[in-house]
Structure 1
Amino acid sequence: MVYQMSIKKEWSVLSPDPQKVSDLSSALGCHPAVARALINRGISTAEQAALFLKPSLARIRSPFSMKDMDRAVGRILLALERGEKVAVFGDYDADGITSTAILFGFLIELGMDVTYHIPNRLTEGYGLKPDYVKNHAIPGGVRLIITVDCGISSHEGVSAARNAGIDVIITDHHEIPPVLPEAFAILNPKQPDCPSGFTWLAGVGVAFHLLLALRKRLRDEHFWSSKGKPEPNLKSACDLVALGTVADMVPLVEENRVYVKTGLKVLAAAARPGIRALLDVCNITEGPLNTYDLAFRLAPRLNVSGRLSDGSLALELLTTSEAETAHAIAKELDRENERRQQLEAKILSDIFAHLDNNPQLLEKRSLVLDREGWHEGVIGIVASRLVRRYMRPVVIITTSNGIGKGSARTPEGLDLFNALKECADSLQEFGGHKTAAGLSLKAENIPVFKRDFERVVCENTPAEGLVPKLTIDGEISPGEITPKLTDELEQLAPFGEANPEPLFLLSDLDVLSSRKVGNSHTQMRLRPSGKVQATPLDAILFNSDVNAMQANRFDRIACHVRWNRWKNRKKIQLVVRDFVIG
C-alpha cells in the first residue's frame, strides 16, 4: 500500500555574522545560540530584541492607517445613532468564528441591535451570497452587513445587498481579486493602495483593528463617560484573537506576535466559560499554553462544527456566559471531532488504495483527485496531509449533482492562488492564499483542470520537485544544553509562521537506549560519542520509522531544545526533526 513516501529533506544551516552574534549576545546577556536565532529572524540590535522579547499592546500601531477605516467606523457609528439593525456575517472556520465572536460581542456591549450569521458550509457555501440577503437580511430588517474573514470575492452578495438598500462593510484578509465588490467600505490590508502594512493579519486581526478604531472614536466622543459606563478592555478579547490568528497560520510577527503572546495569557486564565470548557475537553490542565495547544487541540474542535454541520455551535460556545451550556457544547464538539477524524481516515484509505492501483499518478508534479461523496468539510485536512506526505501541490475535489468543490494545498515554493488564477477558465469560483485555497467547478471540467493545473505546476516549480527544507539556526554542542539556554529559547515564543521554533544541529551522538512510545514515536537517551562521563540527553522523535528505532549512533540530528513538563515537573528534552545515522 502507498501509505508512506520517504522524502529526503534539504538541510540549510544558517551562519550569521559571528561579530554580530557576539555583539547581540553581550548586549542581551544571552547564549550565543539565542543571539544567532534572533539574527536569523531579522533581529540584530538590542532595541529590536527588546521589542521582540517583550511585545506590548501599548506599541500597537494606529488602526486608522488601514484604508477605509475612517469610513467603516463612521458608518457603524451612524447605525448606532439611528438604531439600525446590523448583521455580522462570518466564516465557518476558527478565524471566522473568533472574528464574529469579538465583533458581535463588542457591538452588543455598545447596545446596538445586532445579529450574526455563520453560513452552513454544505448548504450555503463560503462568503456572502444573494440568498442570505434575500432570505435573512431583508426580512430581518438589516440595514448594515459587516463581513468578517470573508467578502472580498462576494460580488453577487454585495450587489444584492446594495440593490436592497443595505450597506456592506467588508473586513477580510484573503487575496485581492482583480475587481473588488462595490461595498460601502473594504478593510483588507492586502489592497495595493492600503498604507497600513498589516498584510499579515488574520481575519480576526482585521476585525480586532476595527474594534480598536471604534473604541478610539467613541472615547474621543466621550461615549462611555457620558453614560457612566467603563470603557471596554479589549485585552480580554485577545484570547480569541490569538486563537483565530494561530488557527489561520498567518505570520506571527509585529502585531500578530503581540496579540498571540497576550492572548495566550488571557486563554490560560480561562475567564470565558467556553474557553474553560474547551480546555477541559482537551485535558489541558497544567503548564503554560503554547501555540501547539491552540493549533492542534483547541482550533480543530472549533473548526469541526463548520466542517461537518453548523459553525454557529462553536460561536455559541465562545459567546455563552453559562458554564453548563459551555461544557455541553464543548463535549458535543469533541464528539464531532472524533467523527471528523473517522471521515478523514476513510477518505485517506480510499486515496491510498487508488494510488496503489494507479502508481503513475505519483509520477506527476501535482496530485489532483476527485470522487463523488467525499465529505466537503474534511477534504482540506486530507489535502494538507497528502502535501506533507508527497511534497507536491494537492487538490482534493468532491462531486455532487454535477458540481465539484475542492480544497487545494501546496508546499512552500508555489503561489497557489496565482496557479489557480491561471486555471480560471475551467473554474467557477476560487479564492484563498498562497498555500491554501478553495475552488468550485463543473464536474465535466475536472479533466481539463487536472491537465491545466499540472502544466502550471510544472512551469512554476523546479524539475526535481519541491524539496522540504529544514532551516537550522546553527550547531551547538551537547554541553551547551543547559536549563539557562532552555529558558532563554522559550522566551522567543510564541512560535509559528515566520517565527519558527529554533532548530539546532548536534553531531556525533551515541544512542544509549531507545523505545517505542505511542503508535509511532521513539523515545531515546543520547550521549556525545566517546564521552562516557557526559550527561545523557533525553530525546524524542515523533512519527519515526524503523531506521530510527534501530540506530546505535547518529552522525547528526536536527532538533529543538525544549522543557518537557509533566505533573508539575520539567526536564530538558530534545525534539528530533531529522537525523543522519552514523
Structure 2
Amino acid sequence: MDFRWKRKHKALEETVERLSSDINVNPTLANMLVNRGIADFQQAKDFFRPDLDKLHDPMRMKDMDLAVNRLVRAIENNEPILVYGDYDVDGTTSVAMFYSFLTSFYPHVAFYIPDRYKEGYGISEKGVRYAAENKFKLLVSLDCGIKALDKIDLANELGVDCIICDHHTPGEQLPKAIAVLDPKREDCSYPYKELSGCGVGFKLVQAFSEFTGRSQANLYSYLDLVAISIASDIVPITGENRILAYYGLDRINNNPRPGIKALILKGKVEKDIDITDIVFKIGPRINASGRLEHAKASVELLIASSLDEGVRRAELVEDVNAARKNFDENITREALEMIDTQEQNGSSKSTVLFKEDWHKGVIGIVASRCIEKYYRPTIILTESNNKATGSARSVFDFDIYEAIAACSDLLEQFGGHKYAAGLTLSVENVPAFQKKFESIVSERVSEIHLKPILEIDEELILDQINYRFYNILKQMAPFGPGNPEPVFCANQVHAENVRVLKDKHLRFEIIQDGQNTRPVCIGFGFAKYYELLNSKMRFNIAFEIRENTFRNTSSLQLYVKDIKFD
C-alpha cells in the first residue's frame, strides 16, 4: 500500500528538555512522550508504572449505587440472576467475567447470549421473555442495552428488573432500567469515558466488592478477560484502560485461566503475549462462534474450570474459526475479483458490493480486507431474511456513517459511527444505493482521504538503534489506539545482503553514511522491491523496532512499514 508519511510535530523545546532531564531519557524519547500527552515527571511515572491503586472509585459512575443495592438485594433474597451479553468478544468476555465472579459465591446465576441471526444485536425480545419465563428477577446486561428502550419496557411489564452496563453512546432517552451504567451518559461524571463493555462490568464488580467487604485482590484474576475486551473492541489504551490492560496482560502471560491458556496453545503464541496477539490470534478465535454459530460456546470456553475442559472447548472453537477463515478468504477473493471486473478507469471513490450467498458473519472482515487493497469507503452486502444487509468500513477521517445517512431514503435501518456502520435495505434498492452512495462519497471525499497515512514518530540515525533505546520503548507498552507502537524512519540508506523469503518477503541489512550500526530489516510482502534494493539505490525507510530471538540469541530487527526510493 502506498502511504503518505506524516511526521508528528516537534513539541515545545523547553517542555522536551525538562522532561528529558526529569526522567533521564534522550530528547528523541522525551519528544515522543510529550506527543502522547506525557509532559512532566508525575505523568511519566503514571505512564511507565501503571498502578491498580490509581483505578477510579467506581461509585463515581452514575447509578452505581442503585446497581449495587439491587444486586445485593437479589443475592440476599436468593433471586435468580441472568447475565446477558452481546455475541462479540467484548460481550462474551463481559459475560464470562461477571458470571465467574457471581458464581464464585452465589449459585443462582445463568447467562444468555443472543443468536446473531435469529435475534440480532443487543437485548432481544426473545431474551427478555426467556428471563421472565424462567423466573429470573434480575437481568444484568453487559456491552449492550443503552438503546433498548422498548425491550426494557417489556422487561418491566414482565416483572424482570434490569441493570444495564454499556459503553456505547446513549440516545436522547435512556431505558427505564433499575440502573444504567454508562460513562458516556451526559449526566455521568465518571472521569474516564473510554471503558470497554467488560470494563464497565468490572467497575460494577469492583463497587459490589467494596460495598460487601470482599477482597479487592481477588478481582484482579478477572483482568485477563478485561484486557482481551480492551484489545478486541479497539478502545483507547489510555488512562484507566492502560492500567487494566497492563495487569490483564500480566495475568495472561503468567497465570491465564484454563480457557485462555487453551487458546494460547491453539494460537501457537510462543512469546510474551501483547495487544497485537490478542487482536489477531486470541480475539478472532473467541469471536468465531458468534460469527458462524452461537457465541455461547465462547463463554463456555472462557469459564472452563480445568485445562482439559479448556482444550476440549478450544478445539470446538478452533474448528469454527477454521471455517470462519475459509469463508473470509473465499469471500474476500470473490469481492476483490468483483472490484477488478467492475473497475472502469479506476475513478471510483467507494466500493459497494452485493452477493446474496456471502456469509453475514464475516462481511465486516471482508470490508476491511478490501480496504487493504482499495483504500476507500467500503460496504459489503449479503442477503439475510430476504433483505440486503451489510457492514461498512471507512478510511482515515472520512465519516461513513454520515454518507450512509445521506442515502437513508433507500434504507430500512442503519446505525454505527464514523468508521464502521451496519445497514439494511431491500434487495431491489441495492443498485440505486450503490449509485447514490458513490455520488455522495465523490462529493465529500478528498484525495487526502484516499491515501493511507503512516504517522512517523521520529527520524533516527542508525546508531541510535540500540538496546538502551529499545528497553525504554518496551516500557511504553501496551500499545494500541491512543498509544500506538512507535514508527520511526531513517533517511538516505541503502541495502545489502538482500534475500527473498518464501517468495514474498525480504530480509536485508541497511547502511547509512557515517553510522556503524547495520540493522537487519524484515519486510513482509516487500519482495517486489528486491531488484531496487539490490541495486544499491538509496531510499528512506519507515519501521518499527522489535526484538528477535533465534536459538537463544536475541537481537534487534526493524520491521518494515514502508519504503520510499529516491
Contact 2:545 2:559 in 1 (8 A): yes
Matched, 1:215 2:209: yes
Distance 1:401 1:237, change over 3 A: closer
Q: In structure 1, what residue type is equivalent to 2:464?
A: E
Contact 2:210 2:216 in 1 (8 A): no
Contact 2:3 2:454 in 1 (8 A): no
Over residues 139-158 of structure 1, what are the superposed CA-to-partner deviations in whole Å (9 max), with x where a residue is unaligned? 21111111111112323322
Compare 546-555 and 186-195 and name the one that shifted more: 546-555
Q: How far has the Cα of 1:363 moved from its partner?
A: 2.8
Q: How far has the Cα of 1:549 moved from its partner?
A: 5.6
Compare 145-154 and 432-441 and name the one that shifted more: 432-441
Q: Quick one: which of 109, 117, 125 aligns to 2:120?
A: 125
Could you tell me how far apart the structure 2 residues matched to 1:373 and 1:69 are?
Answer: 45
Distance 1:82 1:449, change over 3 A: farther
Distance 1:270 1:426, change over 3 A: farther
Could you tell me how far apart the structure 2 residues matched to 1:410 and 1:395 are?
Answer: 9
Could you tell me how far apart the structure 2 residues matched to 1:71 and 1:545 are?
Answer: 60
Matched, 1:239 2:224: yes
Distance 1:464 1:45, change over 3 A: closer
3-state SS of paired residue (2:31): helix
Q: How far has the Cα of 1:421 moved from its partner?
A: 4.3
Matched, 1:509 2:504: no
3-state SS of paired residue (1:440): strand
Q: Quick one: which of 36, 41, 45 aligns to 1:46?
A: 41
Distance 1:365 1:71, change over 3 A: farther
3-state SS of paired residue (1:373): coil
Over residues 270-312 of structure 1, what are the superposed CA-to-partner deviations in whole Å (9 max), with x where a residue is unaligned? 3411111111111123x32211111111111111111110111
Aligned to 1:116: 111
Could you tell me how far apart the structure 2 residues matched to 1:523 and 1:66 are?
Answer: 51
Matched, 1:472 2:466: no
3-state SS of paired residue (2:360): coil
Q: How far has the Cα of 1:23 moved from its partner?
A: 2.1
Could you tell me how far apart the structure 1 residues matched to 2:153 and 2:470 are?
Answer: 55
Q: How far has the Cα of 1:470 moved from its partner?
A: 1.6
Over residues 117-173 of structure 1, what are the superposed CA-to-partner deviations in whole Å (9 max), with x where a residue is unaligned? 112212222111112222x21221111111111112323322221221212222112
Q: In structure 2, what residue type is equivalent to 1:546?
A: K
Q: Quick one: which of 475, 484, 495 aligns to 2:468?
A: 484
Contact 1:9 1:470 in 2 (8 A): yes
Q: Quick one: which of 513, 516, 519 aligns to 1:534?
A: 516
Could you tell me how far apart the structure 2 residues matched to 1:154 and 1:427 are?
Answer: 21
3-state SS of paired residue (2:480): coil
Q: How far has the Cα of 1:416 moved from its partner?
A: 3.8
3-state SS of paired residue (1:173): coil
Q: In structure 2, what residue type is equivalent to 1:377?
A: G
Query: Share of identical aligned residues, percent?
Result: 36
Could you tell me how far apart the structure 2 residues matched to 1:206 and 1:142 are?
Answer: 22
Q: In structure 1, what residue type is equivalent to 2:65?
A: D
Could you tell me how far apart the structure 2 residues matched to 1:214 and 1:189 are?
Answer: 17
Contact 1:505 1:557 in 2 (8 A): yes
Over residues 520-550 of structure 1, what are the superposed CA-to-partner deviations in whole Å (9 max), with x where a residue is unaligned? 3221111114x5x723211112222513563
3-state SS of paired residue (2:355): strand
Matched, 1:202 2:196: yes
Aligned to 2:98: 103
Aligned to 1:371: 355
Contact 1:66 1:187 in 2 (8 A): yes
Matched, 1:563 2:557: no
Q: In structure 1, what residue type is equivalent to 2:32?
A: A
Aligned to 2:60: 65
3-state SS of paired residue (2:163): strand
TM-score computed with the length of structure 1 as normaliser: 0.92
Q: Quick one: which of 488, 495, 514 aligns to 2:479?
A: 495
Q: How far has the Cα of 1:500 moved from its partner?
A: 0.7
3-state SS of paired residue (1:142): coil
**C-alpha RMSD of matched pairs (Å):** 2.1
Contact 1:420 1:453 in 2 (8 A): yes
Q: How far has the Cα of 1:464 moved from its partner?
A: 5.1
Could you tell me how far apart the structure 2 residues matched to 1:432 and 1:564 are?
Answer: 40
Matched, 1:405 2:389: yes
Aligned to 2:528: 546
Q: Quick one: which of 77, 88, 98 aligns to 2:83?
A: 88
Contact 1:508 1:553 in 2 (8 A): no
Aligned to 1:158: 152
Could you tell me how far apart the structure 2 residues matched to 1:258 and 1:360 are?
Answer: 50
Q: How far has the Cα of 1:394 moved from its partner?
A: 1.4
Aligned to 1:3: none
Could you tell me how far apart the structure 2 residues matched to 1:57 and 1:418 are?
Answer: 39
Could you tell me how far apart the structure 2 residues matched to 1:312 and 1:555 are?
Answer: 51
Q: How far has the Cα of 1:15 moved from its partner?
A: 1.7
Over residues 440-478 of structure 1, what are the superposed CA-to-partner deviations in whole Å (9 max), with x where a residue is unaligned? 333334345435544554454335543321221121110
Contact 1:9 1:467 in 2 (8 A): yes
3-state SS of paired residue (2:496): strand
Could you tell me how far apart the structure 2 residues matched to 1:84 and 1:460 are?
Answer: 54
Aligned to 1:227: none
Q: Quick one: which of 31, 35, 45 aligns to 2:30?
A: 35
Distance 1:196 1:426, change over 3 A: farther
Matched ranges for 1:288-367 at <5 A = 288-360=272-344, 363-367=347-351
Over residues 162-220 of structure 1, what are the superposed CA-to-partner deviations in whole Å (9 max), with x where a residue is unaligned? 2212122221122323443333322122222222133211111111111111111112x
3-state SS of paired residue (1:408): strand
TM-score computed with the length of structure 2 as normaliser: 0.94
Matched, 1:273 2:268: no
Aligned to 1:255: 240
Over residues 368-415 of structure 1, what are the superposed CA-to-partner deviations in whole Å (9 max), with x where a residue is unaligned? 211111111111111111223222221111113421221111122123
Distance 1:199 1:417, change over 3 A: farther
Over residues 476-530 of structure 1, what are the superposed CA-to-partner deviations in whole Å (9 max), with x where a residue is unaligned? 110111110011111111110010111112111120122222453221111114x
Q: In structure 1, what residue type is equivalent to 2:523?
A: L
Contiguous gaps of at least 5 residues in structure 2:
none
Could you tell me how far apart the structure 2 residues matched to 1:396 and 1:570 are?
Answer: 44
Could you tell me how far apart the structure 1 residues matched to 2:311 and 2:189 are?
Answer: 43
Q: How far has the Cα of 1:417 moved from its partner?
A: 4.1
Over residues 72-109 of structure 1, what are the superposed CA-to-partner deviations in whole Å (9 max), with x where a residue is unaligned? 22221221122211111111111111111111111212
3-state SS of paired residue (2:459): coil
Aligned to 2:13: 18
Could you tell me how far apart the structure 2 residues matched to 1:435 and 1:203 are?
Answer: 19
Could you tell me how far apart the structure 2 residues matched to 1:424 and 1:450 are?
Answer: 13
Task: Please list every run of at least 4 consecutive aligned residues from structure 1 whose deviation after the TM superposition is greater than 6 angstroms.
Answer: none
Over residues 334-375 of structure 1, what are the superposed CA-to-partner deviations in whole Å (9 max), with x where a residue is unaligned? 232222111111111211221222104953322221111111
Matched, 1:394 2:378: yes
Distance 1:430 1:77, change over 3 A: farther
Contact 2:132 2:159 in 1 (8 A): no
Contact 1:253 1:498 in 2 (8 A): yes
Larger RCO (CA under 8 A, 6+ residues apart): 1
Q: In structure 1, what residue type is equivalent to 2:126?
A: D
Could you tell me how far apart the structure 1 residues matched to 2:411 and 2:30 are?
Answer: 48
3-state SS of paired residue (1:559): strand
Distance 1:41 1:396, change over 3 A: same
Compare 63-72 and 562-571 and name the one that shifted more: 562-571
